[in-house]
């Protein structure tokens, strides 16, 4: 029974990773690609690792640490990519409301 559960979770996780890869290739702008490259693969990896936990007798701390590190580093990487895209201005981001980052990005007028 545990092998069936592990197989289903592994296939489901692989499907999420595949869909994320397709989304990364097909989405038109960097912000959409960034979203596809961080959200779904993290969930896919978590499902694969949960499936692997069913196969490993007694569980494995290394698998849990791996998922934890991905969940810690993926949002930080996405934030940095999004911020660099915003700063470059190359994406033509349309902001319907107030641009809250504009004030934060302007240099301080008091000097260094």
pLDDT digits (tens, 9 = 90+) for 10-47: 999 999 999 999 988 988 888 788 888 888 888 999 99
Q: What sign does the dihedral 17-21-27-28 (CA atoms) show?
A: positive
Residues 6+ apart with CB under 8 A from 49: 13, 63, 64, 66, 67
pLDDT digits (tens, 9 = 90+) for 50-81: 888 888 766 678 888 888 998 899 888 888 88
Kindly write down the DSSP assignment for every residue of 7-24, as one continuous string. Answer: HHHHHHHHHHHHHHHHHH
Classified as helix, coil or strand, 96 is coil
**pLDDT surpasses 80 at 2:** yes
């Amino acid at each position: 029974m545990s092998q069936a559960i592990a197989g289903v979770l592994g296939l489901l996780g692989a499907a999420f990773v595949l869909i994320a890869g397709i989304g990364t290739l097909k989405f038109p702008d960097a912000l959409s690609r960034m979203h596809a490259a961080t959200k779904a693969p993290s969930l896919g990896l978590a499902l694969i690792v949960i499936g692997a936990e069913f196969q490993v007798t007694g569980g494995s701390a290394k698998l849990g640490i791996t998922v934890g590190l991905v969940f810690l580093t993926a949002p930080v990487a996405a934030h940095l990519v999004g911020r660099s895209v915003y700063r470059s201005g190359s994406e033509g981001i349309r902001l319907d409301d107030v641009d809250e980052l504009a004030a934060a990005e302007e240099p301080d007028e008091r000097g260094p």
